[in-house]
């Protein structure tokens, strides 16, 4: 008569290994998983604030108004009123902090033509000119004031 | 599950600095009928987010769709549309042509988040799909999984990078840089939870479509005026 459960030693060894690995895993993840993981979901909660804290470069048209009120007024009545200041003058947050750092001022025809060059893919009601036919070589701002 | 039931949710570990994340669900509208393909959005995005200036690294870009008489559709996007588009020379075979700005669709069911093996990309509580660059291992699974091609591997940081809807701006009450720079109000942005926000008005006023609706990703970039050819 043999007891089927007598020869149990090899199962025991296996169970000990499994338990040790499981405890090792639980202890290791206590050290390796950041504290804020799972705060909001399966990610580091601190990553949300890190994404919020990245540096700004565009200041927004409202901050231009504080100093350039006259320009802001004429612009807000002009045909270019949907075009924000920094669309043409580039990112200007540094200028709001230190007025000595000047934002860019687009010169010549090339910048105006980015929007206003004739192109069949543009919406038909958008004002466009043929750059070769419309006073070639002349600076747009000589006739057209972009702020009015 | 494997959080082992630690009461982490009771501890406010992350200080959101007064930003009420629960009251926001960010949405974005693109009115294709207004886009002139000037590429100011692409430029603004690259400046604001320090996106590498080499071609083919974009968080947002502009495509030109050209439909021809022989049922052919061509799509081009020279340097992501950053320097504008030259006019089409051969207009004989042309039926129509228009510009479509593209970017991350900030899906409600984002495939990129599903495949991330380390929890480095996630959908925040206000609906923006973000990347944790400190946790990303650069395996590129998310780049493969994105059906909109909106992700790229940052060539210097060697981590996945993508549009964040300018999370650092919108949480301070500013607009994303691309919306700020758009001269024709093609791009509309706002809080979907506020009935009077520009995006809620946009959705009420326009006929809205999303890209690849059959995939069930439920994008939060809402298009108005796109053709069936746009994918």
ipTM: 0.86
> pLDDT category, B26, cuts 50, 70, 90?
very high
A6-46 tens-digit pLDDT: 778 888 999 999 999 999 999 999 999 998 898 899 999 99
Q: Which of A63-67, B30-34, B141-145 has the lowest mean pLDDT?
A: A63-67
Partner residue opposite B181 with nearest CB, options A39, A80, A86:
A86
Q: Output the 3-class SS for A37-84.
A: EEEEECEECHHHHHHHCCCCCCCCHHHHHCCCHHHHHHHHHCCCCCCC
3-state secondary structure of B28: strand
CB atoms B174 and A56 under 8 Å? yes
Give the model confidence (pLDDT) of B52-93 as tens digits: 988 789 999 999 999 999 889 999 999 999 999 999 988 888
- Cα B216 from chain centre: 17
Whether residue B7 has pLDDT greater than 50? no
Could you say which of A26, A38, A118 has the minimum Cβ distance to residue B8?
A38
CA distance between the termini of chain B: 38
Q: Is pLDDT of A148 > 90? A: no
List chain A residues with CB under 8 Å of B124: 40, 48
Q: Which residues in chain B touch residue A64, judged by CB atoms under 8 angstroms apart?
A: none
Return the pLDDT at B11: 54
Output the average pLDDT for chain A. 91
Contacting A residues, span 66-105, partner chain B, CB-CB under 8 Å:
80, 82-84, 86-87, 90-91
pLDDT at B1: 44
Task: Give how far A13 is from chain B: nearest CA, Å.
Answer: 26
């Amino acid at each position: 008569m043999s007891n089927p459960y007598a020869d149990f030693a090899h199962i025991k060894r296996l169970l000990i290994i499994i338990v040790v690995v499981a405890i090792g895993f639980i202890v290791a993840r206590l050290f390796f998983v950041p504290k804020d993981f799972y705060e909001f979901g399966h990610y580091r909660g601190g990553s949300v604030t890190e994404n919020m804290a990245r540096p700004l470069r565009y200041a927004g048209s409202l901050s231009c108004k504080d100093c350039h009120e006259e320009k802001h007024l004429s612009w807000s009545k002009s045909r270019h009123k949907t075009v924000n200041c920094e669309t043409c003058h580039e990112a200007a947050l540094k200028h709001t902090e230190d007025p000595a750092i000047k934002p860019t001022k687009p010169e010549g025809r090339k910048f105006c033509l980015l929007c206003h060059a004739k192109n069949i893919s543009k919406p038909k009601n958008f004002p466009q000119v043929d750059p070769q036919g419309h006073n070639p070589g002349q600076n747009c701002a000589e006739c057209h004031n972009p702020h009015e | 599950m494997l959080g082992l039931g630690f009461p982490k949710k009771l501890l406010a570990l992350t200080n959101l600095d007064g930003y009420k994340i629960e009251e926001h669900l960010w949405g974005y509208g693109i009115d294709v009928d207004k886009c002139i393909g000037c590429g100011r959005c692409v430029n603004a995005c690259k400046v604001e987010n320090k996106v590498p200036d080499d071609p083919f690294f974009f968080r947002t870009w502009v495509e030109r769709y050209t439909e021809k008489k022989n049922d052919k559709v061509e799509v081009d996007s020279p340097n992501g549309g950053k320097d504008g588009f030259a006019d089409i020379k051969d207009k004989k075979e042309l039926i129509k042509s228009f510009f479509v700005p593209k970017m991350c669709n900030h899906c409600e069911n984002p495939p990129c988040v599903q495949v991330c093996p380390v929890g480095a990309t996630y959908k925040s509580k206000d609906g923006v799909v973000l990347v944790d660059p400190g946790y990303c291992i650069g395996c590129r699974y998310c780049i493969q999984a994105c059906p909109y091609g909106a992700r790229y591997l940052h060539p210097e940081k060697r981590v996945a990078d993508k549009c964040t809807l300018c999370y650092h701006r919108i949480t301070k009450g500013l607009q994303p840089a691309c919306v700020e720079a758009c001269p024709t109000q093609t791009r509309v942005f706002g809080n979907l939870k506020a009935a009077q926000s520009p995006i809620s008005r946009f959705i009420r006023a326009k006929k809205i479509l999303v890209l690849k609706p059959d995939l069930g990703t439920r994008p939060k970039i809402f298009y108005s005026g796109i053709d069936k050819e746009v994918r």
